[in-house]
Amino acid sequence: MSRQTRDGVLNPAYHDSETLQMGRGSAQRPPQQNPYGSTERTYDEGLQASGRQDWDSAEHIPMASLAGGQSWDQQPGGLSNAGYEWDSASDPGGARAGDFREQERPRLRTKRSSILRQLRMRNSSLFFRGALSSSALGWLRLTAEDTQDKTAQEEQQLIIELVAMSFYDRVRAIRQLPVSLHEKKQIRKRVLLEKTSKKGRINWYMDCRDNFYLFHRRCSTFVTNAYHTLQLWQGGLKDIGGKFGSSILSYFLFIKWLLMFSIFSFLVNFGFITVPQLFDRDTVNNGTFKGLELLTGEGYFTQSVLFYGFYTNKSVTGGSSSNSTGSLLPYDMQLAYFFTISVYFVLCCLSLVYSAASSFHKNFMSASELSRSGRLLFSWDFRVSNDKAVRSRQKNLSTQLKELLSEHLQQKLCMTFDERIKRFGRHLLAWFVSSGLAIGCSAAVYFLCLYNVNSSPWNNRSDLTKEASTLLLPIVVSLINLIVPLLYSLLRNIEFFTFPRHELYTLILRNVILKMSIIGVLCYYWLDKVVNCGIPCWETFVGGDIYRLVVIDFFFCLFACFFGEFLHKVIGTRFFPRLGVPEFDIARNVLDLIYAQTLAWIGIYFSPLLPLIQIIKLFLMFYVKKFSLMQNCHPPQRSWRAAQMMTIFILILFFPSYVGVLITIAVIFWRITPSSSCGPFRGLNVPFDVIANWIDSITLPGSQWVVWIYNNLIQSVLFFFILTLLVLILIYVYYQIVVGRKKLIAILRDHIANEGKDKAFLLEKLKKLQSQSMSSLYQDPSLEAMGSKQDIQDREVRGSNQNGTPFEGTFPVQLRRAPSLQETSNRRQPTSFSGERQSARDAEREYVLPNVLQEPQQQPWPGAPGFQQAPPNYIPPDYPVDDDSSMEGGTLPVSDALAQALWARRQAEDEEEEGRY
Amino acid sequence: MGSSASQLTKELLSEYQELTFLTKQEILLAHCRFKELLPKESRNTMDYRVPMEKILTMPELKSNPFRQRICYVFSTSEAKDGSLSFEDFLDFLSVFSDSATPEIKSHYAFRIFDFDDDGTLDRNDLVKLVNCLTGDAPETRLSQEEMNQLIGNILEESDIDKDGTVNLSEFQHVISRSPDFVSSFKIVL
């Protein structure tokens, strides 16, 4: 055993267990024939006889070569986990196939630098052993000593590694161990024990770090606990998930996310803009509250903190200006307004980019290649707990799988030229209709706006009918938003999409175009027409418009819920059963939310408290939608790729919506002159002048750096030019890295596939060789010398009787996967032994490898140093035998034959590939 | 159940917090729910094992097609009867919680789907898995031919080393490419 440095890999006990797999058929072996003992003996003898045991090298051919790329490839029992640390350098001449690949290995066996990952690997094996049922252990014929020994070793190793970790890492590592809580407790106890016993060695740095992590952890648990107590709608979300699954749940989570967004923006605006304004007693509201204002935002509200116009442009000192002995520091409203809004948008941008990027990274980058069947199979929704929902889900899944399979068969359908033209025409028509509708709607909105702005007499605001007439525009816009998407979904009757996914994406695209063009028209109207038509306080007017749009949109949502879904259900269940119960349309609903959020963002400048309206709206919407969903709808028929859809929605929220808003706000800040009679920016050319004035007025000695930054960075074109250049370079570098990684991944994939092929091939070959030598055993009388024929026959009969496979128990040469293969062959060919032997002989006739068998090492092994220069103690291996009989005949050792056959196969493959190019 | 905290000492609670992915509230809630499953006379002994039949009556698990597998996988009982102690129960909730990592989730998913506990998903396991997913009703069951084709497809794309079975690393590879898995492998009390 001296040559083996990796006790896990070449531990004789370990091989015994492998060997034993062969004999698993003979389950009734008496205990004194404990394979452990018997093979241990063989092993020692073999060692003495030849100095080298080649059979373990043969055994390692597939595994060793796989080990680099795939360390998880574990045999039940977890013993082969050691392959993870397999290092062929410790086995100079042995694993030929391993050596063959040795050049590529270092690259493959990339540094698994993360200790955590290593731990997980190791402990998955640990766990497997613990978790295996006794029957599986018996199946492997592992003895209790084997496993206990190994477990103890690994645990010891694990604990040593854990002790070396910092507190934080250790907690995480232990938490991630896939073992039961009880075992985790034990491990933790032992680690702590070890830790305290080693305390004498004071490590100041480690202690400090541990304390810091402890503190950090306490803080974070406090925060998460607080968050969990505040957890909104926990029960409601659970109900929805239980009945409708994750896809619909994602809509409600989106509502929740937007709600958090709104709450945040409300807190920011309220805290930094509204509260200081409330301290200012110069501006007073003289209006009377009538009630209709709630709907229109006119009258009383125009003179309130709700809108831009009410805010002062002075510094708030806490007292009224006549009594200017205010005790507080002056608070510059202009600066506060400017900075609050800009900082809010920057924070929004960061959080949006972060969530979009992480969601994109999670759901698109890695999800590209998997076919739908796999995705369907492995993502059962464990949240669903309603009995009916489970059954309908199972039914849906079954139909989808069936469809998928039939689709798979029909996929080869080729279209003729005529059909293509027709299809193209249909799509063109549909796009024509949809764009026409969008343009028509935008034009209608534009003219309605013009009419609105021309007919509104600004001086006569108190009239109720006039006030109500302002509702015309929002009602029309909301109607468009309600009806046109329905028309769009009717277009599916014109164009027949082969994939529902395409249909969905097209629908979303059209809806986004519609909504964004309407908002675009509105923005143009506000920033061009309204500004130039001489309204005294145009910001408040625009704020009122947006307020009405948001409120009316909410009412239309309720309307659509009650009348759309409710009526649909009543009609579908009572009168036209063909119509069926409505399905919750996630795409449409989410787009509505995005539309509303866009409006709310634009409105923040004009109406700082608009987030409050948004909060109320979203809060009520959650309950209304939930109620409508529970009462009227049934779960979606098709599996919704919820995660990917959510990514798309966040991207939409970012790209046309947020970026558009940002552009609008930028135009307002830098280009548009604010109204001269109201609002914080009155009297300025553009709102951005606030900053210039402020910089000019800075006189404090310590704050010169602010001026410097403003002059040299903010106002300097060169700075932005260089910044852009740097960012571009960075992007290019990352792009190149991505390209390189992609190539590497492709290579590694090829590699794994190749290894897999090698393994299958070797298994095949091994079977052939086994059957071949089997028959030669029967034919060759000289074999008597090696052991009684009777003995061999006995063994074979034993194997066949119990397992139906004659080869087991005869040759310890074994590949890791052999059990599964044998099992499949068992299932496939439950023939009697004689039949099997016959077929084996047939096979032999076909597949005999004369040159391989007669001329060993005729070919030098390419790229395998271990092969070309056999190590000094290398002795041509002979047949490994599990009993005391040894075979020294004219037959070439199986390992060599296999290795050569493998090499021949690879060469043939290479030639084939060369021929292709 | 106001007195629920009385049984869980502070040290135990913080230990559980350290060893699982659960928060304090979730552990306390789990404790409450677990106590409801206990028979009246043994409510004060924490090491009582709740038999599998009792666990399966929980509304969260009642209709789950994998409920028995879940019990067997998380049970540490010597008798392999699927009974759960409180710690097993916490283990189960920890794996199915929001904050559990995808690795640990896929690890346990693999064990749940590995019906014969042999460490790989072979054809039989996949057949059972598909049957669980499509239900027992004759109209939803896949025919033999469809089943073969489906499993062929799955093996084709997930069995990277082409040995006819899906092992843990291959399974985790598949899971890493199906983003819905993490969000759907959750059970909340």
Let me know: does A331 contact A633? Beta carbons within 8 Å.
Answer: no
pLDDT of residue A633: 82
For the cut 90, the answer to whether the pLDDT of residue A856 exceeds it is: no
CB A690 within 8 A of CB A338: yes
Report yes or no: B131 at the A interface, CB cutoff 8 Å. Answer: no
Enter the DSSP assignment of A683. Answer: T
- Suggest the residue from B183, B185, B189 to mutate for an interface test with chain A (most A CBs closer than 10 A): B183
Amino acid, single-letter form, for residue A402 = K
Report domain extents, chain B: 2-95, 102-184
Q: Do B150 and A401 touch (CB under 8 A)?
A: yes
The CATH T-level fold of domain B2-95 is Recoverin; domain 1 (1.10.238)
For chain A, the average pLDDT equals 69
Statement: residue A727 has pLDDT above 90: yes
**Which 3-state string (H, E, C) describes A429-491?**
HHHHHHHHHHHHHHHHHHHHHHHHHHHCCCCCCCCHHHHHHCCHHHHHHHHHHHHHHHHHHHH
Amino acid at the residue B106 = S
Using the 8-state DSSP alphabet, how is residue A246 labeled?
H
Decide: B161 and A70 in contact? Cβ < 8 Å.
Answer: yes
The shortest C-alpha distance from B161 to chain A (Å) reads 4
Q: Does A288 lie at the interface with B, CB-CB under 8 angstroms?
A: no
Partners of residue B166 on adjacent β-strands: B121
Please report how many Cα atoms fall inside a 13 Å half-sphere around the Cα of residue A153, on the Cβ side: 15
pLDDT score recorded for residue A739: 95
A30-44, A654-668, B92-106, B125-139: range with lowest mean pLDDT: A30-44
Q: Which of A804, A780, A803 is nearest to A792 (CA)?
A: A780
Supply B173's token pair. Answer: 């590879």
What is the rounded radius of gyration, in angstroms, for the C-alpha atoms of chain A? 38
| Numbers of helices and strands, H then E, in chain A | 38, 2
Q: Is the pTM for the entire model greater than 0.90?
A: no
Residue of B nearest to A404 (CA): B150
Using the 8-state DSSP alphabet, how is residue A787 labeled? S
Q: What is the mean pLDDT of residues A681-697?
A: 86
Report the chain A residue with the minimal C-alpha distance to residue B15: A185
In angstroms, what separates the C-alpha of B44 from chain A's closest C-alpha? 19
Beta carbons of B19 and A367 less than 8 Å apart = no
- Cross-strand partners of A879: A887
Contact between residue B120 and residue A135 where contact means Cβ atoms under 8 Å apart: no
Name the closest residue on chain B to residue A244, using Cα atoms: B184
Residues of chain B neighbouring A225 (CB-CB closer than 8 A): 23-25
- Pick from A339, A333, A294: which is nearest to A310 by CA? A333
- Measured at the CA of A345, the angle between CA A339 and CA A346, to 5 degrees, comes to 85
Distance CA A119, CA A174 (A): 9
Residue A844: how many CB atoms within 10 A of its CB? 17
B176 neighbourhood in chain A, CB within 8 Å = 366
Q: Is the pLDDT of residue A183 over 70?
A: yes
pLDDT at position B45 is: 65
Q: Searching chain B, which residue's CA lies closest to the CA of residue A760?
A: B163
Q: Do domains B2-95 and B102-184 have the same CATH topology?
A: yes
Reported as a pLDDT band with limits 50, 70 and 90, residue A848 is very low
Pair A98, A91: CB distance under 8 Å: yes
Q: Is A218 on the interface with B (CB under 8 A)?
A: no
Find the CB nearest B179 among A182, A369, A643. A643
Q: What is the spatial distance between Cα A62 and Cα A882, in angstroms, rounded to a whole number?
A: 21
All residues of chain A having their beta carbon less than 8 Å from the beta carbon of residue B63 are 384-387, 389-390
Residue A25 burial (CB count, 10 A): 20
Smallest Cβ–Cβ distance between A379 and the set B140, B167, B180 belongs to B180
Terminal CA-CA length for chain A: 48
Question: Strand, helix or coil at A768?
Answer: helix
**B140 and chain A in contact, CB less than 8 A:** yes
Strand partners, A634: A583
- How many Cα atoms within 13 Å fall on the side-chain side of residue A740? 6
Cβ density class A701-720: b for 16+ within 10 Å, e for less:
eeeeeeeeebeeeeeeeeee
* Overall residue count recorded for chain B in this entry: 189
Mean pLDDT, to the nearest integer, of A848-863?
41
- Quick one: how far is CA A502 from the chain centroid? 22
- Summarize the confidence of residues A278-287 as an average pLDDT: 69
Q: Which of A133, A368, A382 sits opposite B184 (nearest CB)?
A: A382
Q: Which two tokens stand for residue A13?
A: 């006990």
Cα–chain center distance at A368: 11
Q: What does the angle CA A316 – CA A319 – CA A320 come to, to the nearest 5 degrees?
A: 90
CB B180, CB A641: distance < 8 Å: yes
- Flag whether residue B56 sits within 8 Å of chain A, measured between CB atoms: no
> CA angle at residue A587 from A581 to A592, to 5 degrees?
105
Encoded tokens for A619: 């809060």
Q: Which of A17-21, A137-141, A842-846, B77-81 comes out lowest in average pLDDT?
A: A17-21
Higher pLDDT, A739 or A409: A739
Name the helix (H) or strand (E) containing A407. helix A387-410
The answer to whether A612 and A294 have CB atoms below 8 angstroms apart is no
CA distances (Å), A740 to each of A113, A732, A737, A743, A753, in order? Answer: 20, 12, 5, 5, 20
Cα–Cα dist A12/A1, whole Å:
8
Task: Out of B66, B76, B163, name the one closest to residue A820 (CB).
Answer: B163
| pLDDT for the residue A381 | 80
**Residue whose token pair is 């920057």:** A346
Asked whether the beta carbons of residue B153 and residue A408 sit closer than 8 angstroms, the reply is: yes
What's the CA gap between B157 and A316, in Å, rounded?
A: 68
**Cβ–Cβ below 8 Å for A370 and B165:** no
CB contact under 8 A, A394 and B135: yes
A407 falls in which pLDDT band (50, 70, 90)?
A: low
Question: Which one of A377, A390, A759 would you mutate to disrupt binding with B, by most B Cβ within 10 Å of its Cβ?
Answer: A377
User: Looking at the DSSP assignment, which residues form a beta bridge with residue A315?
Assistant: A332
CB atoms within 10 A of CB A168: 15
C-alpha distances in angstroms, A881 versus A112, A138, A147, A786?
37, 22, 24, 11
Token pair recorded at residue A841: 């002989």
Nearest Cα residue in chain B from A753: B161
Identify any residues that bridge with B169 across adjacent strands, giving them in sequence order: none
Report the complex ipTM. Answer: 0.84
CA angle A225, A228, A231 (to 5 degrees): 155
Q: Please name the residue that has the structure tokens 């394979």.
A: A35
Provide mean pLDDT across the span A282-298. Answer: 70
Spatial separation of the C-alpha atoms in residues A511 and A736, rounded to whole Å: 36
Q: Report which residue type is found at A598.
A: T
Phi and psi angles of residue A332, each rounded to the nearest 5 degrees, phi first: -80, 110
- DSSP states of A319-372: S-GGG---SSPPEEHHHHHHHHHHHHHHHHHHHHHHHHHHHHIIIIITTSS--H
SS3 content of chain A, % helix, strand, coil (to 5): 75, 0, 25
Is residue A529 within 8 Å of A449, Cβ to Cβ?
yes
Q: What is the pLDDT confidence band of residue A830, given thresholds at 50, 70 and 90? A: very low
Listed as ranges, residues in chain B with pLDDT below 70 are: 1-7, 42-46
- Alpha-carbon distance of A40 to A113, in angstroms, equals 36
Q: How far apart are CA A385 and CA B66, in angstroms?
A: 12
Res. A897: pLDDT tops 80: no
CB pairs under 8 A between A and B: 244
pLDDT score, position A445: 93
Query: B154 vs A124: CB contact, 8 Å cut-off?
Result: no
Cβ <8 Å between A378 and B149: no
Superfamily designation of domain B102-184: EF-hand (1.10.238.10)
